[in-house]
Structure 1
C-alpha cells in the first residue's frame, strides 16, 4: 500500500525551482509549482492563461515581491518565442491561500512550451495543438474500463494495470432492507463506483445520463476501435459498448414490481486490497424512490440512444423505464437510509423531485406521450447550480437539457421558459469565471469540488448549444484549465496526465497493485474544506479552501475518485473536442 504522506505544502517545497538568472537560461528539469497552468495544453485559437503565485504566503501582502516580466520558451529554454509583463497582484489568500498575478497570453502557434519567470523558474511544459484534449477524453472513458467489476482486465487491454476478476456477484444475498425474503440473486458486471468495490444505482444512473448526453450532443465520440476495450472490433461504438457494461448491471437491480434496489455492497468497506482479495459477502440493500427514478431516466434516455445500436436492447430498456416510472409514482417518498449494520456509501436524498423530473423528461423525449409531459407541468425541472449540486439535485438540470435538446416535442412556452433559465444561470457562471483568479466558477469547496467545476462547465455547454455564444465555450475551456493544472495546488487532477498529477488517490487497486503510478484516467475529488478525513489525513493547519487537498491514500474526502466525477469531465472534454 502506498501511504506516503505527500501533502500539498511539502510537495510544493520539493518542486519549487531555485533562483534563476535574468533571462531564459538552459533547460531546467525541475518545474516550479508557483507558475500554475494547464499542464496538458491549449487549442491554437485559445489564449494561454496562467497564474504566478506564492502558494505558501501568509504574511502581509505588501511584502509579496511581484514579478515583472515572463518569457515563453521552447522546451529546452534556449529559444524565446514571446516576452510579456505579468498581471496585477491579487490577494487571494482567503479562498486560495495565495497572493497571485494572473496573466493572459494571446494564442500561440502549435508547439510545446514553458513559461519562465526570472528568479522564480520554469513552469511545467504544455502543448498548443489541435485535438489537445483528445487523450484526456479517451483516458477518462478508459478510466471506466479499469473500474469494471466481475471481469478480469487482461494485459491486452489494461497493460500494466492488468488484474484478475473480482466480485462475480452471481450469488448476492438480499439484505432485509430490500424487502425480499432471504435468498440470493445474480447481479454481475457494472463499474465499481469509486475507490471502493461497491455498486450504487443512484451514482450509476446519474453518470450514465451525463455520458449519454455527450453522445446526443456531439455524435459518437469514440467509434469502434477507439478505446481498446474487449468489445473493440465488434462494429459498434466503443463509447456505447463501455456504457452498456454499466447499463446491463443496472437492469439487474430492478425488482419484479418495477422498483429498483438502491445498492449492491458489502456491509462495510473492504480494506486496501485488489478486487480479487475482497471476499466479504455482498448484499442487495434497500429500494428507493431516488434510485428508481434515476434508473427510469437513464434507461429511457438509453432506449433513445441505443435504438440504432440494438433495437431489441432499446425496447428492453424502455420497458424497464416504464415499469420503474410506475413504481416511482406509486412510491414517491421511499427515501433510503443505511440500515444499522451497513456503513458503505449511502447516497441518501430526502427529495425526489429532481429525479422524477429527469425521468419524466427522458420518457417524454423518447415516447412523446402526454402522461409524461403532464407530470413535467406539475413538477417542472429545477434549474439550479451550486457546490454539491451533484447526485442529489443535478438531475433537474439534466431534465432541462434533454427537453431543450428536443424542441420539436416541447410546447414553445415551456421550452422558452427553460431556455431562459439555463441561459441566465450560465451567464452567472461565466461572470464567476471571469471574476476568479483561477477562472473557475465555484467559491465553496466540499466533497467532489472538482466535479462541481466540471458540472458547471457542462451547464455552460447547454447554454452554448442554445446560443452558440463563444463566451460559454471559452468559460468551459477555463474550467478545464483549472482541472488540468491551473489551480493553487498546481496539480493536474486527472491521474496519468500532465507532469504533476495525483500519485496516491484513495482507490483500492491503485493502493494494492504494487505499481508506482495509480490507475490512469481517474479524476481526483479535489479540494474539500470540510476535511471529513482529517483524523487520517495530514492537512496543513489553517489551509485555505482551494488548497485543502492532500495527495494521500487515506484522503477519501479530497483524493478519492468516483463515477459522477469522471462523467462530467468526459462530457466537457468531448464537447470541447467537438467544438474546437
Structure 2
C-alpha cells in the first residue's frame, strides 16, 4: 500500500489571486512563487464595488465559482468533523483552510436575500491562459436574489456555513455562532425563493457549473446540516415533511458538487444510527441501498469499475466521485460500527470492515497502486502528472519571469509538451479513463485538471487511512 500523508492532501487550487489581500497560506504553490493579483473587489456593474476578498478558485482557471466552493467547504468541514481527531498536527491547517472559505462566504451572504455566487466572467477567463497575477479579464460579480433565485447554491452555502460551525464550536464559539446564524438566514432564503440558479445566470455559470440535478437535493442537504448544527426540531420536522418531495429516495447514486442526495442520506443515517433519532429510520434504508449499489458481488451492485479497479462514474473529472465516495464509505462504516450494525444486500452481508477495504482500495489506486503505477496526486510518489491543466502551475512564476504574460500568449505554453515549472504538490487531477489510461496532456482538462472538490473529501479519507495504517 502506498504511504499515506495528510500533509500532501492540500486543497487543489492555489488561490493567492484576485480579490485577495494576501496569499492563501494553504496553497501548495508556495507564496514566494506568487505575486499580488489585482487586489481589487468585484464589480457588480457601473461603479458598484463589492468586497469579495478571499475564497478559492475552483480548479485551474481564475474564476471564483460559489457553488463548488461551498461544496468544497462543506466536505472539508465534514472531513474534520468525522476524522479531525486523527489529523494531529494538520488539524489546525484544515481549520484555517475552512475559515479562509467561510470568511469569504460570510461576505458573499452579508446582504439579506442576496448571495454573490461568482466572481469573474468564465467565458472570457477561459479564452485566456494567464497567471493569476497577470489576470486582466473582467471581474464582474454575479448574484442571486428574490428576483433571480438560486436555491441550489444558497442551500449549499447554508450547508457549508452550518458544517463549518461544528468545526469551530469548541475552538472559537463566537465565530461558530456567527456561522450558524448566517446559515439559518441563508437557508430560509433558499427555501422561500425557489429555483435553480442556472435559470437566471445560465450564460455565466453554464456549462461550467450548471445545476443539472435541480435544487431539491441541496434543500434536503442544507436542512440535514442545520438539523445537526442547531438541534432545532424545526429542521427535523422540515426533513420529515419534505424529505420525499426533495428526493430522499432518489436512485441517483452520484455524489458531487451538483448532486447531494447520497450525502444527505448518509448524513441523516448518522442521526438515526448514532443519535437514535428514530423518525429518520428510513434514511438508514436509503443509505444501505446506496452502499449495495456500490459494493461488488452482491445482487444489487450497479457501480462500474475500470479493469484496474477504480470506481468509474463519468469521463469528466471522475476522480471527484472516487474521493467523495471513498469518504462516504468511511463515514458510514464509522456510523455502522458505532451502532453495531451491518448492511444487508439481498442476503449478502456487508460489514463496516468491507466498506473500509473498498475505500482503501480506491485511495490506493489514486496514490499509485494502479496499472500505470502513476500517482494521481501531484508531487506524491516517483511518478505523477507533469502537465496538469492549471494556469498557475503551468506558467513560469513571477520570480523567474517577472514580465507580464498576456491573455493569448500563455497558450503556446499550455499547448506545449513541457512539464509544468511549478509542481502543484497535493493537487489531485481528474484521473484516468475507463480503461485506466491517462495521457498527461494539459489540453485534456477532463483528466488533467485538479479541483478543490476532488481534494476536500480526500482529506478525511487520508486522515483515517493514514492513522489506521500507521503513517500519521
Assess same fold via TM > 0.5.
Answer: yes
Structure 2 equivalent of residue 308 of structure 1: 170
The Cα offsets for residues 507-550 of structure 1, whole Å up to 9 and x where unpaired, read as 0011112663531111111235xxxxxxxxxxxxxxxx334543
Distance in 2 of aligned mates of 1:278 and 1:192: 13
Match of 1:238 in 2: 93
Distance apart, 1:558 and its partner CA: 1.6
The equivalent residue for 1:283 is: 140
**Counterpart contact for 1:259–1:328, Cα < 8 Å:** no
- State yes or no: 1:458 paired with 2:327: yes
TM-superposed CA distance for 1:260, in Å, is 1.9
1-side partners of 2:448 and 2:27: how far apart? 29
1:467 matched to 2:336: yes
The one of 30, 39, 59 equivalent to 1:194 is 59
The CA distance in 2 between the partners of 1:241 and 1:304, in whole Å, is 14
2:445 partner SS: coil
Alpha carbons of structure 1 residues 157 and 292: separation in structure 2 relative to 1, 3 Å: closer
| Number of the residue aligned with 1:554 | 443
Displacement of 1:321: 0.7
Shift of 1:306: 0.9
Give the equivalent residue in structure 1 for 2:265. Answer: 400
Is 1:441 matched up with 2:311? yes
2:463 aligned with 1:574:
yes
Q: Which runs of 5+ in 1 are unaligned?
A: 1-40, 43-131, 176-180, 228-235, 529-544
The question of whether the paired residues in 1 share the 8 Å contact of 2:64 and 2:120 is answered with: yes
> CA shift at 1:370, angstroms?
2.2
Are residues 399 and 155 of structure 1, via their aligned partners in 2, closer, same or farther at CA, if it must alter by over 3 Å? closer
Report what 2:241 is aligned to. 378
> How far apart are 1:156 and its partner, in Å?
12
The aligned counterpart of 1:525 is: 430
CA contact (8 A) 1:153 1:164 kept: no
Q: Which is bigger in relative contact order (C-alpha 8 A, separation at least 6)?
A: 2
* Separation in 2, partners of 1:461, 1:342: 33
* Separation (CA, whole Å) in 1 of partners of 2:28 and 2:283: 43
Question: Which structure is larger by alpha-carbon Rg, 1 or 2?
Answer: 1
Distance in 2 (CA, whole Å) between partners of 1:347 and 1:325 is 20
Q: Which structure dedicates a bigger proportion of its chain to strand?
A: 1
Q: Of 70, 76, 86, which residue of structure 2 is paired with 1:205? A: 70
- Please identify, of 559-568 and 486-495, the stretch whose mean Cα deviation from structure 2 is larger: 486-495
Structure 2 partner of 1:139: 8
489-498 or 320-329: which moved more? 489-498
Residue 570 of structure 1 and its aligned partner are, at CA, apart by 1.9
Contact 2:121 2:204 in 1 (8 A): no
- DSSP 3-state at the match of 1:439: coil
Do the aligned partners of 1:353 and 1:379 also contact (CA within 8 Å) in 2?
A: no
Structure 2 length as normaliser, TM-score?
Answer: 0.79
1:297 Cα deviation after fit: 0.9
- Distance in 2 separating the partners of 1:155 and 1:579: 25
Name the SS for the 1:285 alignment partner: strand
For residues 217 and 343 of structure 1, what CA distance do their matches in structure 2 show? 33
Indicate whether 1:248 and 2:111 are aligned: no
Of residues 354, 362, 365, the one that matches 2:225 is 362
Q: CA deviation at 1:167?
A: 4.2
- Per-residue deviation at 1:272? 2.5
Offset of 1:361 from its aligned partner? Answer: 0.8
May I ask how many residue pairs the two structures share in their alignment? Answer: 413
Contact 1:172 1:282 in 2 (8 A): yes
Partner of residue 85, structure 1: none
Match of 2:406 in 1: none
Deviations 1:192-250 (A, max 9, x none): 11000111121011111111112111234545xx45xxxxxxxx822101111011111
1:139, distance to aligned residue in structure 2 (A): 1.3
Aligned to 1:263, the other structure's residue is in SS state: strand
CA distance in 2, matches of 1:293, 1:339: 18
What is the CA–CA distance in structure 1 between the aligned matches of 2:361 and 2:132, rounded to whole Å? Answer: 37
RMSD: 3.0
Cα distance in 1, alignment partners of residues 305 and 389 from structure 2: 32
